[in-house]
Amino acid sequence: MTPRYEPHEIEQKWQRVWEDEGAFRAPNPVQSEPTAENHWYQLEMLPYPSGPSLHMGHVLNYTMGDVQTHVRRRSGWHVVRPMGWDAFGLPAENAAIREGRHPRETIERNIETMRGQMKRLGWAIDWEREVSAHQPTFYRWTQWLFQQFVANGLCYRREGPVNWCPNDQTVIANEYVVDGRCERCGAEVELRNMTQWYMRTTAYADELLEYPGAEWPEKTKAIQRNWIGRSEGAEILFRVEETGEDLAVFTTRPDTLFGATFFALAPEHPFVNAHASEEAKEYARHAGARPVEERAAATTKTGVFTGFHAVNPINGERLPIWVSDFVLMDYGTGAIGGVPAHDERDAQFAETFGLPVVPVIDDEGRLINSERFDGLPSEEGKRAIVAALEQEGRGKPTVNYRLRDWSVSRQRYWGCPIPFVHCEKCGVVPVPEQDLPVILPDIEDYAPKGRPPLAANEEFMAVHCPQCGGPARRDPDTMDTFVDSSWYFLRYIDSHNDEAPFDRFVVDYWLPVSQYIGGIDHSTGHLLYSRFFVKAMNDWGMVGFREPFARVFHQGWVTLGGTKMSKTKGNVEGPDQVVDAYGADAVRLYILFMGPADQDMEWTPDGVEGIVRFLRRLWRIVHEVAERPPADDAREAALARKANETIVRVTDDVLRRFQFHTPISAMMELVNELSGAVDAPDARFAAETLVSLIQPYAPHVAEELWGVLGHERLWEAPWPEADESQLVRDTFELVVQVNGKVRDRFEVDASLDEDALVARARESERVRSYLDGGELRKTIVVPQKLVNFVV
RNA sequence: GCCGAAGUGGCGGAACUGGCAGACGCGCCGGACUCAAAAUCCGGUGGCCUUCGGGCCGUGUGGGUUCGAUUCCCACCUUCGGCACCA
């Protein structure tokens, strides 16, 4: 008599066993011993513990990683699969503010809940490696690394315009300003001038366009390419007639230089303030104050003549210098040569102010009105003109980037303190290594108020300068959370090391991450920053690789009501209810069965029933098979072949195609076939294969059924391998077409040669009726598949 | 405007290398079991036509290549994502 399928009992039972045995612990290699060749670092982006629960998007993500982990482990790979918490930062702090509690309390409670949910879903995580960004044992090394960046000239302080979120009361990075608004809270961002720490990401701008040894989705690379915005062109010097000074211009179209009819400066350009007429300065003050968004949205161009003229170095032409807000100070040099004939914006400007238009490229893309360069194709013209200017020291080829350095100072409390002190005598001085970490003090009033909350804490702020011993002040800002997440994947590998952030030997063994799973929304942020970190560390000799993530996969969004589940939108659905109702195995199977993992999917629990039916069916059938005495020599039938085919499909889909929903379909097919043949001699083989294949998806029920079949420890049993000999078919279904349309199909012997197949096809009554009366022009035979007659 | 992805039944989707379109599941319809229901099991389920043998149409639209196209090529439409007064 088959017992009832009771998921909760089974799941608790096996989770306890795995925990007691440390089943999913992955020991690090030891330098003196040989290391495994097949190693796999499975990583999914770590969660923010800012909400009180995981949501179904997390469930999708981590279940995918889990299936990959189990299949790799059982296929003989040494797999590490860690987990941790992105505990610092705005989302966590804002959640705490809403609750009226200290951020530490909120996030530590959330971490506990989420960890419990993860364990309840049975994910194979090596919990020994767990880290959280807010622990001093972690952020000590974030601070240490920060100092390394400074020491190596890749992190620096400067004053400049920054994006200020008036709602969150802090500076935010360019990468997290979307359409002029704060990516987190949606408030319109203001420009402010402040002194801030920056990571010099631009130092690697060119290299970030290359992905040595890393297979990334084209889409992600395109997003990063757009963001870096490399463009090749030339820098050209125009002399100001009245003052004799040179103004540089960046252009991607030096071939149109003869068409320049005016010269324009950004309102913020220093020349404007130094020389321009009062009217022009007045314009610049107003225009410069308008947000860029608004400037871009304006339909007509505005501007004021400065009273000065620039000399075009290629032909000596005298151009009026204007100031206009369509020229941007932070791209190129903040100055342009206006060519109305070949640039849409310049054309609008020229039209508004009645400036001349001189075409210099004809319909065939050749230069005209360009003196000795006439007739050259545009591309050649570019090179020739730049070369000519270079001879006279008036121009040179240049590359420009859209990428800006990453601003990392935040005027908020809940983050990693910046390990520098400000001394009036010595300047900005690093906190000595032996004094790290600079502990984030527990303060009562951490609410944002426009100046960093730590600044009000005298106990924290007042220090002695490490260099001269005189009075000094700590840096009251904290770091952007993305600094923490730029290296956490390295700390997992050596999370208990208290002498260094990590040991290079173990990190070089595991890294780069074999498979990284996470949202595509991090393409221009976290994924770019992490690459920057690793390239820098590689240059300093800290790591032996140059890319952090060998393969990247982006899951689709799990949506509710059409929008991505997120706390800010309030449409979060956690796993607890469904797990209560159906068990973890059903939830794991269902979230993956919903559709291709890289596409968005609307969450609805409606289909879970189908999965539960499937599990109950599996449960009953495996019990039925187990009750029958095992047959000898049981592998020579259709069921065995189906089982072998299923092994091939599941393995190929998970390991090569990274596809998780089709293997479930394949296993359902096998269950359907087995359900009608529990007495077949190969039924036991089919049942064992099935249970073994489903283990990565539904590890608890699989383990239980493995026991029913008389075995144990499925989680470490070898992954099934298909028996090639059983995949061979003696017969196949021959499809017979006439003019490409299927007219008949029947089983034939697989050994028949082409002539024999044609002969068999001709014998078909149905086919004959279509062949009669026509002239046979061609016969196409596809071995093992079809015969097509063309009449 | 530039760059990238996608469009298949009532729904989620499958078809990997050009070779039987719609696997698998949901939903729906019918049947068995039952006093009844749930659960379970069996069968059906793209559209139109049918003399019930089958026939025709069908993968966003229009063309093309091919014996044969969901798959390749060209043009277009729609949706989604990235960049964007970036010179």
A254 CA: nearest nucleotide by C1': B87
Here the CATH number for the domain that contains residue A765 is 3.10.20.590
Band of the pLDDT at A588, cuts 50, 70, 90? Answer: very high
Q: How far is the CA of A138 from the C1' of B1 (A)?
A: 46
Which among A491, A639, A617, A531 is positioned nearest to A144, based on CA atoms? A491
Q: How far is the CA of A185 from the C1' of B51 (A)?
A: 70
Q: How far is the CA of A224 from the C1' of B69 (A)?
A: 35
Let me know whether A681 and A775 are in one domain.
Answer: no
Let me know whether A704 and A623 are in one domain.
Answer: yes
Q: How far is the CA of A583 from the C1' of B10 (A)?
A: 30
Using only the alpha carbons of chain A, give its radius of gyration: 34
Let me know whether A646 and A685 are in one domain.
Answer: yes
Which among A493, A483, A477, A491 is positioned nearest to A530, based on CA atoms? A483
Integer Cα distance of A243 and A237 in angstroms: 14
Calculate the alpha carbon distances from A409 to A194, A404, A419, A485, A579 in Å: 10, 15, 12, 15, 41
pLDDT in tens, A182-209: 888 888 888 888 899 999 999 999 999 9
Domain that holds residue A452: 143-200+405-482
pLDDT of residue A659: 94
Strand partners, A515: A42
Band of the pLDDT at A497, cuts 50, 70, 90? Answer: very high
Which among A434, A501, A436 is positioned nearest to A474, based on CA atoms? A436
Q: Could you tell me how far CA A248 lies from the centroid of its own chain?
A: 37
Is residue A152 within 8 Å of residue A450, measured between CB atoms?
no
Does residue A381 form part of some domain?
A: yes
Which among A297, A314, A402, A301 is positioned nearest to A344, based on CA atoms? A301
pLDDT in tens, A638-650: 889 999 999 999 9
Residue A85: phi, psi to the nearest 5? Answer: -135, 130
B15 C1': nearest CA residue: A662
The complex's ipTM?
Answer: 0.94
A600 CA: nearest nucleotide by C1': B80
B69 C1': nearest CA residue: A740
Element (H, E) at A491: helix A488-491
Out of A315-329, A390-404, A677-691, A723-737, which region has the weakest mean confidence (pLDDT)?
Answer: A723-737
pLDDT of residue A423: 95
Element (H, E) at A529: helix A526-539
pLDDT in tens, A675-728: 888 888 889 999 999 999 999 999 999 999 999 999 999 999 999 999 888 888
Q: What is the DSSP letter of A512?
A: S
pLDDT of residue A633: 58
Integer Cα distance of A660 and A580 in angstroms: 24
Integer Cα distance of A596 and A435 in angstroms: 50
Q: How far is the CA of A572 from the C1' of B14 (A)?
A: 30
Token pair 């230089």: residue? A257
User: Kindly report the CA angle at A161 between A288 and A300, in degrees rounded to 5?
Assistant: 25
A664 CA: nearest nucleotide by C1': B24
Q: How far is the CA of A544 from the C1' of B17 (A)?
A: 38
A656 CA: nearest nucleotide by C1': B16
A669 CA: nearest nucleotide by C1': B24
pLDDT of residue A220: 92
Band of the pLDDT at A632, cuts 50, 70, 90? Answer: low
Mean pLDDT of all residues in A129-133: 97
Is residue A349 within 8 Å of residue A301, measured between CB atoms?
yes
Does residue A167 form part of some domain?
A: yes
Q: What is the DSSP letter of A598?
A: T
Integer Cα distance of A395 and A386 in angstroms: 6
Q: Which of A400, A422, A445 is the last residue of a domain?
A: A400
B80 C1': nearest CA residue: A600
B42 C1': nearest CA residue: A676
- Cβ burial of A295 (10 Å; 0-12, 13-18, 19+) is middle
A333 CA: nearest nucleotide by C1': B87
Let me know whether A262 and A390 are in one domain.
Answer: yes
Strand partners, A399: A232
Count of C-beta atoms within a 10 Å radius of residue A671: 19
Strand partners, A70: none
Question: Could you write out the DSSP letters of every residue in A319-382?
Answer: EEEEE-TTS-TTSTTSEEEE-TTT-HHHHHHHHHHT------B-TTSBB-S-GGGTT-BHHHHH
User: Kindly report the CA angle at A729 between A728 and A730, in degrees rounded to 5?
Assistant: 125
Strand partners, A748: A732
A252 CA: nearest nucleotide by C1': B87
Does residue A58 form part of some domain?
A: no
A294 CA: nearest nucleotide by C1': B85
Band of the pLDDT at A758, cuts 50, 70, 90? Answer: confident
A524 CA: nearest nucleotide by C1': B82
A301 CA: nearest nucleotide by C1': B85
User: Kindly report the CA angle at A666 between A663 and A671, in degrees rounded to 5?
Assistant: 125
A218 CA: nearest nucleotide by C1': B4
Q: How far is the CA of A607 from the C1' of B25 (A)?
A: 8
Q: How far is the CA of A345 from the C1' of B1 (A)?
A: 12
Does residue A587 form part of some domain?
A: no
pLDDT in tens, A210-231: 999 898 998 899 899 999 999 9
Q: How far is the CA of A789 from the C1' of B13 (A)?
A: 34
Three-state SS annotation for A377-417: EHHHHHHHHHHHHHHCCCEEEEEECCCCCEECEECCCCCCE
B53 C1': nearest CA residue: A766
Does residue A533 form part of some domain?
A: no
Band of the pLDDT at A287, cuts 50, 70, 90? Answer: confident
Q: How far is the CA of A676 from the C1' of B43 (A)?
A: 15
Q: What single-letter amino acid sits at A217?
A: P
Q: What single-letter amino acid sits at A715?
A: W
Q: Is the pLDDT of residue A12 over 90?
A: yes
Integer Cα distance of A642 and A450 in angstroms: 67
Does residue A430 form part of some domain?
A: yes
Here the CATH number for the domain that contains residue A358 is 3.90.740.10
Mean pLDDT of all residues in A114-132: 97
Out of A271-280, A284-293, A299-308, A404-413, which region has the weakest mean confidence (pLDDT)?
Answer: A284-293
Q: Is the pLDDT of residue A1 over 70?
A: no
Q: Is the pLDDT of residue A635 over 60?
A: no
Q: Which of A400, A427, A451 is the last residue of a domain?
A: A400
Let me know whether A255 and A311 are in one domain.
Answer: yes
pLDDT in tens, A521-538: 999 999 999 999 999 999
B39 C1': nearest CA residue: A613
Is residue A536 within 8 Å of residue A62, measured between CB atoms?
no
A226 CA: nearest nucleotide by C1': B83
Integer Cα distance of A16 and A29 in angstroms: 27
Is residue A264 within 8 Å of residue A333, measured between CB atoms?
no
Q: How far is the CA of A618 from the C1' of B71 (A)?
A: 35
A233 CA: nearest nucleotide by C1': B87
Let me know whether A371 and A246 are in one domain.
Answer: yes
pLDDT of residue A191: 80
Question: Could you write out the DSSP letters of every residue in A227-284?
Answer: HH--EEEEEEEEEETTT--EEEEEES-GGGGGG--EEEE-TT-HHHHHH--HHHHHHH
Q: Could you tell me how far CA A566 lies from the centroid of its own chain?
A: 18
B67 C1': nearest CA residue: A790
pLDDT of residue A637: 79
Question: Could you write out the DSSP letters of every residue in A94-152?
Answer: HHHHHHTS-HHHHHHHHHHHHHHHHHHTT----GGG-EETTSHHHHHHHHHHHHHHHHT
Is residue A146 within 8 Å of residue A128, measured between CB atoms?
no
Does residue A616 form part of some domain?
A: yes
Let me know whether A470 and A327 are in one domain.
Answer: no
B83 C1': nearest CA residue: A226
Integer Cα distance of A410 and A436 in angstroms: 20
Range A665-669, long-range pairs (CB < 8 A, 24+ positions): A665/A593, A667/A693, A667/A694, A668/A614, A669/A642
A401 CA: nearest nucleotide by C1': B86
Here the CATH number for the domain that contains residue A616 is 1.10.730.10
Q: How far is the CA of A595 from the C1' of B12 (A)?
A: 6
Q: How far is the CA of A59 from the C1' of B22 (A)?
A: 29
Token pair 């007429």: residue? A277
> What is the number of structural domains in chain A?
4
Q: How far is the CA of A621 from the C1' of B37 (A)?
A: 26
Q: How far is the CA of A667 from the C1' of B41 (A)?
A: 20
Mean pLDDT of all residues in A86-100: 90
Q: Is the pLDDT of residue A628 over 90?
A: no
Give the whole-number percent of chain A exceeding pLDDT 90: 69
pLDDT of residue A293: 67
What six digits make up the tokens of A376? 């050259």
Integer Cα distance of A564 and A573 in angstroms: 11
Write out which nucleotides of chain B lie closer than 7 A to a protein Cβ: 2-5, 12-16, 19-21, 23-27, 39-42, 55-56, 67-69, 81-87
Let me know whether A658 and A705 are in one domain.
Answer: yes
Out of A199-208, A327-336, A408-417, A532-541, which region has the weakest mean confidence (pLDDT)?
Answer: A327-336
Q: How far is the CA of A636 from the C1' of B44 (A)?
A: 33
pLDDT, mean over chain A: 91
Let me know whether A294 and A423 are in one domain.
Answer: no
Q: How far is the CA of A761 from the C1' of B66 (A)?
A: 22
Three-state SS annotation for A691-759: HHHHCCCCHHHHHHHHHHCCCCCHHHCCCCCCCHHHHCCCEEEEEEEECCEEEEEEEEECCCCHHHHHH
Mean pLDDT of all residues in A147-158: 97
Let me know whether A178 and A237 are in one domain.
Answer: no
Q: How far is the CA of A554 from the C1' of B72 (A)?
A: 28
Let me know whether A391 and A279 are in one domain.
Answer: yes
Let me know whether A734 and A722 are in one domain.
Answer: no
Band of the pLDDT at A107, cuts 50, 70, 90? Answer: very high
Does residue A518 form part of some domain?
A: no
pLDDT in tens, A58-76: 999 999 999 999 999 999 9
Q: Which of A482, A515, A533 is the last residue of a domain?
A: A482
